[in-house]
Amino acid sequence: MTQTNYPKVSIIVASYNSAGTIKECLESILALDYPESYVEIIVMDGASKDDTVKIARQLPVKVVSIHLNAPAAYNYAQKTARHPILGFIDSDAKVEPQWLKKLIPHLSEPQVAGVSGSIETWNQNNPWARSIGYEIKNRYHRIGKYTGRIATMNLLLKKSVIEEVSGWDEKLPSQYDTDFGFRIAKKNYKIAYEPSAICYHYNRPTLKSFYRQQLQYGKNTLKLYFKHGKLARGDEITDAGMNIQPVLLLAAVLLFFLGIMPLLRFLWIGPPAILLGMLLYFTYSAIKISSKFHDWSAMRLVVLYFVRAGAWFNGAVTTTLSYIARRNP
C-alpha cells in the first residue's frame, strides 16, 4: 500500500481524569508509522478535574472539554471528524507504531464495519493489573477472524456504518460498545480481529478501583440486557458463565432471607453451597489461566472474580431500585 492509498483516519480519545496516562497515550498515536497529514487526533475530555486537559493541550491534537459520557462524546466528535475512518483509543491505553497499518487493510472488505487489535497489559509490574490482563487476553483468544463486537479500547470503524446505525447509545455510559456491535450485526456487518496489532491497556491496579469499574459495568449491563435480551446468552468476550454469576449471588441472598422463617430454615444450606461452587469454579479458572501464561500470581483472579461478581450484582440491584423509584415517585 503506497502512501497515496492510505485512507485518512480521525482518532478519537475519550478521557476523564486521565492525567497519569494521557501523555503516553497521545504520544503513541503521534508516533504511529502512518502519514502524519492523514491522521487527525481529537481528545474528547469529560470535564476532567485533574491536569488531563492541560497535558493534552501541550501536544498537537484537538482538545474538546465538555461534560459528556463516552458514547455522547463519540457522537459529538463524529460530527466534526474530517475523515471517513474513525479510530477509538482509550485514554488509558497506548498503541504500537504499526498498529494502524496492521488494522487498515481489513477495512477493504465490504461487510467489515471495523477492526481491532489485541490487548497487552501496560502496567505489568502490578500483580492485580497483570492478572486482569491475563483474564482479558484469555477471553480475546476465543475470538476468531471476525467477531460481533469488541471494546472501543482500540478500534477502527467506518464512519458510514456508525451513521447507518444512528451512532452510539448515550443512555449506556458503559456497555455501549456491546450494544453497537449487536446493532451492526443485525445489518450483517462484522468486526475483524487482527491479533498482531497491539494495544497496551493500563488495567486497574487495586481491588477498590477494579470494583468501582465493574460496578458501572454491572449497572449498565442490566440496561443492555433489557434492550437486547439475546445478549444475556453471552459471546466470546462475555460468556454465559460470567452473566450467571450475579444471578447466583442473588439466589444466595434470597435463600438466606427466606431461611429466616423457621419453616424454611433448611434453605440456609443454599448460600454456602452456592459460594463454595463459585469458589471451586473460580479456582479452576484461575489455575487454567495461571498455567496458560506461566505466572502463578494470576491466582489473584479468584479474588478478582468474586469482586467482579459482587460488583455486577450490586450494579444490577442499584439499577433495579432506581428504576422502581422512578416508576413510583
- We report the CATH number of the domain holding residue 24 as 3.90.550.10
In a domain, 222, yes or no: no
pTM: 0.91
Q: What is the mean pLDDT of residues 158-166?
A: 95
Could you tell me what percentage of the chain is helix, strand and coil, using 3-state DSSP and rounding each to the nearest 5?
A: 55, 15, 30
The amino acid sitting at 29 is I
The answer to whether 106 and 194 have CB atoms below 8 angstroms apart is yes
Alpha-carbon gap, residue 299 to 282, rounded angstroms: 9
In a domain, 239, yes or no: yes
Q: What is the mean pLDDT of residues 129-137?
A: 97
Alpha-carbon gap, residue 128 to 136, rounded angstroms: 13
Q: What is the pLDDT of residue 264?
A: 94
Alpha-carbon gap, residue 160 to 275, rounded angstroms: 47
Backbone torsions φ then ψ of 126, nearest 5 degrees: -90, 120
Residues 269 and 307 placed together within one structural domain of the fold: yes
With CA atoms as reference, report the closest residue to 31 among 117, 102, 94.
94
Q: For residue 177, what is its C-alpha cell?
A: 460498545
In a domain, 220, yes or no: no
Domain count, the chain: 2
For residue 284, give the 3-state DSSP assignment: helix
Alpha-carbon gap, residue 311 to 265, rounded angstroms: 28
Q: What is the pLDDT of residue 174?
A: 87
Residues 248 and 279 placed together within one structural domain of the fold: yes
Residues 42 and 130 placed together within one structural domain of the fold: yes
Alpha-carbon gap, residue 287 to 2, rounded angstroms: 47
In a domain, 218, yes or no: no
Q: What is the mean pLDDT of residues 103-109?
A: 95
In a domain, 217, yes or no: no
Tens of pLDDT, residue by residue over 61-94, are: 999 999 999 999 999 999 999 999 999 999 999 9
Residues 198 and 275 placed together within one structural domain of the fold: no
In a domain, 60, yes or no: yes
In a domain, 216, yes or no: no
Q: For residue 50, what is its C-alpha cell?
A: 485533574
Reported as a pLDDT band with limits 50, 70 and 90, residue 227 is confident
Domain boundary among 146, 173, 205: 205
Q: For residue 51, what is its C-alpha cell?
A: 491536569
The answer to whether 41 and 35 have CB atoms below 8 angstroms apart is no
Q: What is the pLDDT of residue 231?
A: 75
Domain boundary among 170, 205, 240: 205
Q: What is the pLDDT of residue 239?
A: 82
Q: For residue 161, what is its C-alpha cell?
A: 456504518
CA 44 to chain centre: 17
Whether pLDDT at 323 is above 90: no
Tens of pLDDT, residue by residue over 37-70, are: 999 999 999 999 999 999 999 999 999 999 999 9
Residues 175 and 253 placed together within one structural domain of the fold: no
Whether pLDDT at 1 is above 60: no
Angle in degrees, CA 5, 10, 13, rounded to 5: 145
Query: Any idea what DSSP says for residue 168?
Result: -
In a domain, 213, yes or no: no
The answer to whether 37 and 82 have CB atoms below 8 angstroms apart is no
Residues 172 and 296 placed together within one structural domain of the fold: no
Question: What integer best gives the mean pLDDT of the chain?
Answer: 93
Whether pLDDT at 4 is above 60: no
Q: What is the pLDDT of residue 322?
A: 80
With CA atoms as reference, report the closest residue to 316 among 232, 216, 188.
216
With CA atoms as reference, report the closest residue to 322 among 242, 208, 231, 222.
222
According to DSSP, the residues that pair with 155 across neighbouring strands are: 88, 116
With CA atoms as reference, report the closest residue to 280 among 291, 292, 288, 269.
288
Residues 114 and 200 placed together within one structural domain of the fold: yes
With CA atoms as reference, report the closest residue to 46 among 11, 88, 76, 79.
76
Domain span at 25: 3-205
Residues 134 and 195 placed together within one structural domain of the fold: yes
Residues 119 and 234 placed together within one structural domain of the fold: no
Whether pLDDT at 3 is above 90: no
Q: What is the pLDDT of residue 5?
A: 78
Residues 47 and 166 placed together within one structural domain of the fold: yes
In terms of phi and psi (left: phi > 0; alpha: psi -120 to 50; beta: otherwise), the region of 156 is beta
Q: For residue 81, what is its C-alpha cell?
A: 471528524
Residues 174 and 246 placed together within one structural domain of the fold: no
Residues 114 and 158 placed together within one structural domain of the fold: yes
Q: What is the pLDDT of residue 233?
A: 78
Q: For residue 173, what is its C-alpha cell?
A: 455510559
